[in-house]
Structure 1
Amino acid sequence: MSLAFLLTTLVVVATPGTGVVYTLAAGLSRGRRASAVAALGCTLGIVPHMVATVTGVAALLHASATAFQVLKFAGVAYLLYMAWATIRDKEALVVERDGESLSSGRVIVRGVLINVLNPKLTMFFFAFLPQFVDPGRADALPRMLALSGVFMAVTFVVFAAYGVLAASVSSHVTSRPRVMTWLRRTFAGSFVVLGAKLAVTAR
């Protein structure tokens, strides 16, 4: 495995995006455990893109403007929903000290949807992985799967680190109502901006 692949993966994953925003929000609102669960959800959301790349569906999305646009605007709609839900839910950023696992399923599903409904991730895999895999080699498929696995592992570790960092300072901000109001607005605004960015991006 090349150092170039690892460095590129780290840069791409660490760059703030929808997954990072979601994991930070989870860390601030529900603590370390929830941030890890959110990171897991975002990581699982990579699987369909990986499968699409390996099976060649990514090539269809790359060639079909209609398929790309449908998935893209589904992602935009979901990000706008996340913004609306963040503003509407006054308890969205309240730290839960009891560690209830009841909401873990919802946290994971939201994380999965955030990454599943992001066609740019499929395009990234389609353009990124082939640079490190020789299609003529007999082990091309296993190597692509291995590299995808590394990308997912790095994603989970980096996102979880973001979440844990947010959780570590949550007690300093969640006790201040005005700060919490601005945090809700900031996260909601971030989802809107990311949705707008996705809406205007081309293939």
Structure 2
Amino acid sequence: MDVWLLFIPACLALNLTPGPDIFFVLSQALSTRRFAGFWAALGLGLSYLGHTLLAVIGLSALLMQSAMAFIVIKYLGAAYLLYLGWTCLHTAATLELLEVPSRDSRLQIFYRGLMVGLLNPKVALFFLAFLPQFVDQELGSVPVQLLILGAVFTLTATLCNGAYALLAQRLKRRLQGSKRASVIMNRLSGFIMMALGVRLIVM
């Protein structure tokens, strides 16, 4: 019980602090269809579960031991963010927000969130460093504890990202009637994602 009294507040503090994932959710909520931010949050959530599994089976340790593996994944993630940012800047020229009612558009947003999370090696290193701090070997299987901790972190992160998406959705509704505002939001989204890509490269 003492572990959870420390772990859950730590998760909330980390997840409520604005960072790359939150900015990505905001960018999606501002630039695409209704509830896009929630789909992006769900995609990121699935990536967190993926990193949890990597931490459990030890593959994340490869990123700490191999500088080349870290660099390759880092630049793949940066390139993907730059591509998404450029796409948003390009669509801003249409003078309207993208409102595609197809099912594929939701899946595409979900996929973006998933890839942004999976292609960020710092997330893998975070899971590898953060989760073990709350493991108690006397409480049983360490892999099972890591899975439970990772699942709880994923839940809190997804809820926090969803809350930010809701705030962005309300902002978008207020501005959606303005074509100029639509262009600004698309451009803002593009600049945010490209800035995240550059930040991933230089840090």
Q: TM-score, normalised by structure 1?
A: 0.88
Partners in 2 of 1:161 and 1:80 — Cα distance?
Answer: 25
- Given residue 187 of structure 2, which amino acid in structure 1 is its aligned partner? R
1:92/1:18 Cα in 2 relative to 1: closer, same or farther (>3 Å)? farther
- Identity percentage of aligned residues: 33
1:150/1:92 Cα in 2 relative to 1: closer, same or farther (>3 Å)? farther
The answer to whether the 8 A contact 1:30-1:93 is kept is no
Which structure has more helix as a fraction of its residues? 2
Tell me the equivalent position of 1:58. Answer: 60
Question: Of residues 172, 186, 199 in structure 1, which corresponds to 2:201?
Answer: 199
Q: Which runs of 4+ in 1 moved over 4 A?
A: none
The answer to whether the 8 A contact 2:95-2:180 is kept is no
1:116-195 to structure 2, matched below 5 A, reads 116-135=118-137, 138-195=140-197
Partners in 1 of 2:22 and 2:63 — Cα distance?
Answer: 25
1:93/1:199 Cα in 2 relative to 1: closer, same or farther (>3 Å)? farther
The answer to whether the 8 A contact 1:35-1:163 is kept is yes
- Given residue 185 of structure 2, which amino acid in structure 1 is its aligned partner? L
Tell me the equivalent position of 2:33. Answer: 30
- Given residue 57 of structure 1, which amino acid in structure 2 is its aligned partner? L
* Residues 1:3 and 2:2 are matched in the alignment: no
Tell me the equivalent position of 2:76. Answer: 74
1:61/1:92 Cα in 2 relative to 1: closer, same or farther (>3 Å)? farther
Partners in 1 of 2:21 and 2:87 — Cα distance?
Answer: 16
1:76/1:146 Cα in 2 relative to 1: closer, same or farther (>3 Å)? same
Q: TM-score, normalised by structure 2?
A: 0.88
Q: Which runs of 5+ in 1 are unaligned?
A: none
* Residues 1:19 and 2:21 are matched in the alignment: yes
Question: Of residues 88, 94, 97 in structure 1, which corresponds to 2:97?
Answer: 94
Calculate the aligned-residue CA RMSD, in Å: 2.1
Deviates more, 1:146-155 or 1:174-183: 174-183
Q: Which runs of 5+ in 2 are unaligned?
A: none
- Given residue 26 of structure 2, which amino acid in structure 1 is its aligned partner? L
- Given residue 81 of structure 1, which amino acid in structure 2 is its aligned partner? Y
Give the number of equivalent residue pairs: 199
SS in 2 for 1:45: helix
Partners in 1 of 2:23 and 2:180 — Cα distance?
Answer: 20
SS in 2 for 1:89: helix
- Given residue 11 of structure 2, which amino acid in structure 1 is its aligned partner? T
